[in-house]
Structure 1
Amino acid sequence: MKKLIHRLILATIFTAHLTSAVDFLFNGFDDSAVSYYGNATLDSRILSLTGDAGFEIGRALYPSKIPTKDPNTSLVLPFSTSFIFAMAPFAGRLAGHGMVFLFVPYAGIDDGIESASSQNLGFLNFSNNGDPNNHVFGVEFDVFRNQEFDDINANHVGIDVNSLTSLNSSEAGYWSAGNSFEQLDLNNGRTYQVWIDYTDGVLSVTMAPVGVTRPRQPLLNVSIDLSQVLEDQMYVGFTASTGNMTQSHKILAWSYSNTNFSLSEGLITAGLPSFELPETPFYRTRGFIAGLTAGVLILGVVCCANVFLFVRKSRRERREREEMEDWEMEYWPHRLSYQEIDSATKGFADENVIGIGGNGKVYRGVLNGGLEVAVKRISHENAEGMRAFLAEISSLGRVKHRNLVGLRGWCKKEKGSLILVYDFMENGSLDQRVFECDVSKMLGFENRIRVLREVASGILYLHEGWESKVLHRDIKASNVLLDRDMNARLGDFGLARMHDHDKAAGTTQVVGTIGYLAPEVVKTGRASTQADVFGYGALILEVMCGRRPIEAGKPPLVDWVWEMFRRGELVNVVDARLRGEVEAEEAERVLQLGLVCAHPDSKARPTMRQVVKVFEGRNEVEGEGEDMSVYLLEKMRNGEVFPMHLGNGFGLHPTLDEIRQGMSSTMSLSWSDITVVEGR
């Protein structure tokens, strides 16, 4: 009887499966084969998801939804798909990011879901990452190690369910017939074939270079229940993106079937184009030499003169490269030509100036391709500017996080300017949205808290998320920039320092901005992550109060807020312009967090990881379940917060005069060792 029932169930599933059959095979594409969105294009029957532009998304989907579940049992139908792809780098550019084969419940690119996902493979963005209501499933081919999503390395294949944190992942490669693992470089321009099969609750992913017989052992073989992920019908296709790094993501052929697992054998793997960059420089190829010879014969003396100039220029460039300092060679991939930057800013025209800093002017520019950038120009003769320049390219030039300003490139003009090129932040700096601004441009209560949360995420990445620990040392509202979508990005790494996670910072130079300097930095000159936490605490208070840390005729902001907390009137410090929209409990929670971060005792401050936990809804500071207000009150009872002035003679916010007066008794440094910024 049981066998009969089992056979009836199988027969029912099989019958339903036949009515839901979907089979297609594309050896090359035309407009009817796929629907493409964003920056995806079709050229010579090859589908390109992205091109040579930063921060773009491209998506291509089968034109209609396909059934993914049995209508009678709601079980996920088995399927098999195979495709041939290439991630093609561009000469002289840093390659990235990756691509995803995906199932998605809607066509196109949803503005609410992917509008900010250009650095997240075009799959999800940070606001909805991990949401089970996404109903998206994908297999990612990623060429950047994003520690936010626990990526295993910068060349991996992963299985993603409603999240960019992969359920399972592996180094890209395949198992040869001899049972040895052969690693594959995903973004070298070579063409690879992928096979993805799902049956009986098991997903297998296999890949190999085009032309290699399908390996018997899959790269990934994972038990996974997709019944709660996939809807009854889904769109299927590909998505990819670029960020600061760019490359082309190309699909050359594709098959899909939920009835015939051998359909992929029909993909044509011979005679496909190659997208690998030539190893031989162009000027050494036979074509160039032949053209040069013909040109010399035709143009005579004119071409001889051009060749002479070309050789002299080449020798000069070669000599310059030989004379390059070590740091220039290390950061060579980010280098841009002066001519490109000069053209982008229209010769550094005055009408393109968007800001003036301590080390030089900042210009708005447009690079080739229409990409807007911010260009900081620093005098080569400015010693402090040179230190800031090196700090920027050595720290910001290599870190990547959605809440850090992206450094697109740099240029050092011989005996001239030092130039840094950043992503352009359309909405300016945070201080322009908090202080002395029109009500129409002012950030509201909820947006201020969101911005503070995003800045905390960026600082946590600097402290813990990268291979080295990065100390920013100048956290303040004017160094927080807002992009087109009003997302916060911490910038200006001119004072930043890097060191190993297991070592203390070696510098003993007081740097920073008055009003944000931690007391122990003034006393010892030694920076630390806790000094950054103090600066972040001051940032919280100034954003919530609408007051700068130091203002003429007023007590220092941190001192004033501590006093209002002691009097039980903390909510009254909130920016008066926000009173109508303030949630008192939330405001007090964030202000208390700011006070804990700006505590005069560095050991009493939380870590940035604890700060981020508070924004995630966990109110703990030191121990499990220890509420901030309880923590602060206990510190006050023990006399650890008041009186305001500490034993070193400085207040919570030392002024420039206090630093000068305290130098001889508290530090073994001279006044020339101090680099501080007065005012804003």
Structure 2
Amino acid sequence: MILIRSNIMLLTFLRVGTILFLLARSVVTDNINGFNFVYKNSNDSQLLGAREIQPDGQVFRTNETLESGVGHTFYSRPFRFKNSTTGDAYSFSSQFVFGMIPKDPQYAFHGMTFALAPSKAVTEASTSQHLGLFNRTNDGNTLNHIVALEFDTFKNLELGDIDSNHIGLDINSIVSVFATTAGFYDDNGVFNNLTMASSKEIRAWIDYDGVRKRLDVTLAPLQMMKKPGKPLASIPQDLSPYLLEEMYVGFTSATGVLVQTFYVVGWSFQINGKAQDIDISKIVPLPIKKKSTKTKTLIVALGSSLVGMVLILLASIFAFVLYQKRKRKFSEVLEGWEVQYGPHRFSYKDLYKATKGFKESELLGKGGFGQVYKGTLPELGVPVAVKKIWHESGQGMKEFVAEIATIGRLRHPNLVRLLGYCRRQGELFLVYDYMPNLSLDSLLFNSKSGVILTWKQRVKIITDVAEALAYLHEEWVEVIIHRDIKASNVLLDAELNAKLGDFGLARFSNNGTEAQTTHLAGTLGYIAPELARKGKATTGTDIFAFGAFCLEVVCGRRPVELQGRNEAVILVDWVLDCWFKEELLKAVDPKLKGDYDIEQLEVVFKVGLLCSHSCPSVRPSMSQVLKFLKGVEPLPEDFDAVLEIREDYSGRLGDASSSAYFSQIQYNTASAPITEAFNSSGR
């Protein structure tokens, strides 16, 4: 009997009968192209780590080092799956009997897979939704050469699952290329649902026709004596491009938030032939544990005496007081509409423990919208950053959490990954990946850090942030406006790669024109003029903030600096003044000590000034900014004239006409000079 166990606090386990090691096994057949065996003992013993099945039926522990929470079982030797001459995949067939036992019958979680893999050592596999097959880095990589059939009992919105009880064909990715609800067809061709996490044995048939290039999957209850005439799914799919000549066959699973146990009690497999039928008369019932009666017996025994009753009463009162105190301490808001965001929600109790009770020693930084703490979550096993902010609970909370869950699906190398959220009373917690070098702000302005960023590092950081914004504005399925671009929200990993973070203020926009909010948000010095007037955030207001950010990185000065009691220097205006006075080098961060590329310096300054232009329509898009920074496209020839328009914008052009006029401006060498367009407009 083979078991793969998913438990949040334990490794995934593989179980086999203890008598197996006394050679009391039942191996029906084993040949070069297949095998068939059934284990008959239900008095299982737990074995940790990865396992492999030997041709004689014994199961051995391997020396593989798996991530905590991942388990798998593979047949010890590979099978030849392809014709070396034609490159076509052979036909193959497999039968097995499996069962899923959730700890709580009301809740089921991530399932298991039947997998074909190039190696029986899937050491880089991750937990939870990756089912012990992939991780966030290699998911979708064509070099995986993994074909798997998932038996999933959880609806994961991030992966686009159809329901919480389905089978799916996974090719090199945990996102299924085909999925259908689990069930079977009876003799009359009527479909019947089949709940996989029912604590009952289920038979599965997997048949691949190498000639027709078709994969048939059939399920049925164990008590159904014969294979249904109609398969559950008949998938037209050529597996030849994805399989190597030799592949291993087995099962995988991984830990999840809820406890669920998986059994495979009989298994047969055959290349170029039909897998032998499993003798179901030899299948023993799943070891469903009965509830212990020891507690009830103890209560009855204590209740028989007055002393026992008094002790129980005192213990109950004490336990109730502790429970109420603990309940108040870890109480949080949880409403019915949040069920669909389950994978993105963390419990307050877990975050409290991870940050050592939000101790001051774990504090990474403070900002206008909250505090950030370092913590380690047992489920993830890696450091995380927990931002604690206040959010007004009300009608907007449901929409806000929906946006947070969607933003959690963003995947880009220059975005800090938002792992999830938690809300409790008037507090909201956002959980991000932890960045060891903290924020760019701390390196630019904290002399105690001892780090002075070089010119190349600064240009790389600016380009990284531009890549992230181009993804948010133009490349994802919806336009996302960040609304709070600044140095303190740009985090640096161990290699000083920049990652844009803190999506606490981010909003979706209406085709990029304006975000659905009327509240002014942002940081002084990064706020565009039209945002201050109208309070409407757009991609253009993000680009203005990016321009101020560029100048901040090059100059090593904050966007707004106080001089004296009542005077403030605006960085954008100061750099603009230096430009017209031809004293641009005066604006460069003196810590660079002249170690920079003059031509590249001029490009970055121009990009910063152009993006922070007071007229929104003059600002380039982020894809254009990337072309400027990478030297793919030159900046406007009459750049000085573009900056001079800044002075005339508010007085000479009204809001209604500005958009139509400036839409004529295009940033390429073929476009007419901007001054000509300005003069020809008749203004």
Which TM bucket (shorter chain)?
A: 0.5 to 0.7
Of residues 204, 210, 213, the one that matches 1:202 is 213
Q: What is aligned with 1:12?
A: none
Q: What is aligned with 2:229?
A: 216
Of residues 624, 630, 633, the one that matches 1:629 is 633
Of residues 147, 169, 178, the one that matches 1:159 is 169
Unpaired runs of 5+ residues, structure 2, are: 1-29, 53-57, 564-568, 653-683
Counterpart Cα distance in 1 of 2:590 and 2:249: 49
Counterpart Cα distance in 1 of 2:552 and 2:538: 22
Counterparts in 2 of 1:165 and 1:584: CA distance versus 1, 3 Å? farther
Counterpart Cα distance in 1 of 2:245 and 2:143: 14
Counterpart Cα distance in 1 of 2:487 and 2:237: 46
Q: What is aligned with 2:247?
A: 234
The yes-or-no answer on 1:429 pairing with 2:438 is yes
Counterpart Cα distance in 2 of 1:55 and 1:583: 51
Counterpart Cα distance in 2 of 1:485 and 1:183: 51
The yes-or-no answer on 1:255 pairing with 2:268 is yes
Q: State whether residues 118 and 146 of structure 2, in contact with CA within 8 Å, keep that contact through their aligned partners in structure 1.
A: yes
Q: What is aligned with 2:76?
A: 63
Counterpart Cα distance in 2 of 1:446 and 1:88: 55
Moved more, 150-159 or 99-108: 150-159
Q: State whether residues 372 and 385 of structure 2, in contact with CA within 8 Å, keep that contact through their aligned partners in structure 1.
A: yes
Deviation of 1:353 (Å)? 2.6
Deviations 1:645-676 (A, max 9, x none): 573489xxxxxxxxxxxxxxxxxxxxxxxxxx
Deviations 1:480-528 (A, max 9, x none): 4467898876543433456898996453221112343343322211234
Alignment-mate amino acid for residue 230 of structure 1: L
Larger radius of gyration: 2
Of residues 289, 304, 314, the one that matches 2:313 is 304
Counterparts in 2 of 1:188 and 1:153: CA distance versus 1, 3 Å? same
Q: What is aligned with 1:492?
A: 502
Counterparts in 2 of 1:425 and 1:21: CA distance versus 1, 3 Å? same
Q: What is aligned with 2:566?
A: none
Q: State whether residues 50 and 71 of structure 2, in contact with CA within 8 Å, keep that contact through their aligned partners in structure 1.
A: yes
Q: What is aligned with 2:674?
A: none
Alignment-mate amino acid for residue 645 of structure 2: P
Alignment-mate amino acid for residue 524 of structure 1: K
Show the 5 A alignment for 1:5-44.
20-25=32-37, 27=39, 36=50
Q: What is aligned with 2:667?
A: none
Alignment-mate amino acid for residue 571 of structure 2: P
Show the 5 A alignment for 1:273-312.
273=287, 292-297=299-304, 299-308=308-317
The yes-or-no answer on 1:509 pairing with 2:519 is yes
Deviation of 1:425 (Å)? 1.0
Deviation of 1:431 (Å)? 1.4
Counterparts in 2 of 1:481 and 1:36: CA distance versus 1, 3 Å? farther
Counterparts in 2 of 1:335 and 1:485: CA distance versus 1, 3 Å? same
Counterpart Cα distance in 1 of 2:208 and 2:160: 25
The 3-state SS of whatever aligns with 1:647 is helix
Of residues 44, 68, 80, the one that matches 2:93 is 80
Alignment-mate amino acid for residue 239 of structure 2: L
The 3-state SS of whatever aligns with 2:208 is strand
Alignment-mate amino acid for residue 508 of structure 1: T
Deviation of 1:195 (Å)? 2.7
Counterparts in 2 of 1:210 and 1:602: CA distance versus 1, 3 Å? farther
Deviations 1:591-612 (A, max 9, x none): 998888766555677878x68x
The 3-state SS of whatever aligns with 1:302 is helix
Counterparts in 2 of 1:584 and 1:425: CA distance versus 1, 3 Å? farther
Q: State whether residues 365 and 375 of structure 1, in contact with CA within 8 Å, keep that contact through their aligned partners in structure 2.
A: yes
Percent identical pairs in the alignment equals 25
Deviation of 1:134 (Å)? 3.6
The 3-state SS of whatever aligns with 1:644 is helix
Counterparts in 2 of 1:128 and 1:634: CA distance versus 1, 3 Å? farther
Alignment-mate amino acid for residue 396 of structure 1: I
Counterpart Cα distance in 2 of 1:308 and 1:347: 27
Deviation of 1:272 (Å)? 1.8
Counterpart Cα distance in 1 of 2:648 and 2:430: 42
Counterpart Cα distance in 2 of 1:302 and 1:503: 68
Q: What is aligned with 2:645?
A: 643
Q: What is aligned with 2:17?
A: none
Q: What is aligned with 1:556?
A: 571
Deviation of 1:123 (Å)? 3.8
Q: What is aligned with 2:285?
A: 271
Deviation of 1:261 (Å)? 1.8
Deviation of 1:303 (Å)? 0.9
Unpaired runs of 5+ residues, structure 1, are: 1-17, 39-43, 48-52, 622-626, 651-680
Q: State whether residues 28 and 45 of structure 1, in contact with CA within 8 Å, keep that contact through their aligned partners in structure 2.
A: no
Counterpart Cα distance in 1 of 2:432 and 2:99: 27
The 3-state SS of whatever aligns with 1:106 is coil
Q: State whether residues 204 and 218 of structure 1, in contact with CA within 8 Å, keep that contact through their aligned partners in structure 2.
A: no
Counterparts in 2 of 1:581 and 1:176: CA distance versus 1, 3 Å? farther
Counterpart Cα distance in 1 of 2:261 and 2:531: 48
Alignment-mate amino acid for residue 559 of structure 2: I
The 3-state SS of whatever aligns with 1:263 is coil
Deviation of 1:224 (Å)? 3.0
Show the 5 A alignment for 1:450-599.
451-452=464-465, 455-456=468-469, 459=472, 464=477, 471-481=481-491, 491-497=501-507, 505-528=515-538, 530-532=540-542, 534-535=544-545, 545=554, 547=556, 550=559, 552=561, 556=571
Deviation of 1:337 (Å)? 5.3
Counterpart Cα distance in 1 of 2:47 and 2:326: 49
Deviations 1:560-601 (A, max 9, x none): 599989x9x99x99999799999999x999999888876655
Q: State whether residues 101 and 262 of structure 2, in contact with CA within 8 Å, keep that contact through their aligned partners in structure 1.
A: yes
Of residues 393, 396, 403, the one that matches 2:404 is 396
Deviation of 1:265 (Å)? 2.9
Q: State whether residues 335 and 409 of structure 1, in contact with CA within 8 Å, keep that contact through their aligned partners in structure 2.
A: yes
Counterpart Cα distance in 1 of 2:603 and 2:162: 36
Counterparts in 2 of 1:259 and 1:168: CA distance versus 1, 3 Å? same
Counterpart Cα distance in 2 of 1:596 and 1:87: 60
The 3-state SS of whatever aligns with 1:103 is strand
The 3-state SS of whatever aligns with 1:69 is coil
Alignment-mate amino acid for residue 235 of structure 1: Y
Deviations 1:112-144 (A, max 9, x none): xx5x89764454456555554443333344545
Q: State whether residues 207 and 216 of structure 2, in contact with CA within 8 Å, keep that contact through their aligned partners in structure 1.
A: yes
TM-score computed with the length of structure 2 as normaliser = 0.63
Of residues 80, 90, 109, the one that matches 2:122 is 109
The 3-state SS of whatever aligns with 1:473 is coil
Counterparts in 2 of 1:70 and 1:23: CA distance versus 1, 3 Å? farther
Alignment-mate amino acid for residue 647 of structure 1: Y
Counterpart Cα distance in 2 of 1:57 and 1:336: 23
Counterpart Cα distance in 1 of 2:384 and 2:429: 8
The 3-state SS of whatever aligns with 2:50 is strand
Deviations 1:365-389 (A, max 9, x none): 445679456575859xx78799999
Counterpart Cα distance in 1 of 2:303 and 2:541: 65
Deviation of 1:170 (Å)? 3.3
Counterpart Cα distance in 2 of 1:387 and 1:220: 43
Alignment-mate amino acid for residue 121 of structure 2: G
Of residues 426, 429, 453, the one that matches 1:420 is 429
Deviation of 1:198 (Å)? 1.3
The 3-state SS of whatever aligns with 2:312 is helix
The 3-state SS of whatever aligns with 1:396 is helix
Counterparts in 2 of 1:357 and 1:324: CA distance versus 1, 3 Å? closer
Alignment-mate amino acid for residue 36 of structure 1: A
Q: State whether residues 171 and 242 of structure 2, in contact with CA within 8 Å, keep that contact through their aligned partners in structure 1.
A: yes
Of residues 367, 371, 384, the one that matches 1:357 is 367
Counterparts in 2 of 1:174 and 1:444: CA distance versus 1, 3 Å? farther
Counterpart Cα distance in 2 of 1:217 and 1:98: 24
Alignment-mate amino acid for residue 106 of structure 1: S
Q: State whether residues 46 and 250 of structure 1, in contact with CA within 8 Å, keep that contact through their aligned partners in structure 2.
A: no
Counterparts in 2 of 1:605 and 1:341: CA distance versus 1, 3 Å? same
Counterpart Cα distance in 2 of 1:266 and 1:135: 33
Counterparts in 2 of 1:190 and 1:19: CA distance versus 1, 3 Å? closer
RMSD: 6.1
Deviation of 1:108 (Å)? 1.9
Deviation of 1:320 (Å)? 12
Counterpart Cα distance in 2 of 1:578 and 1:159: 58
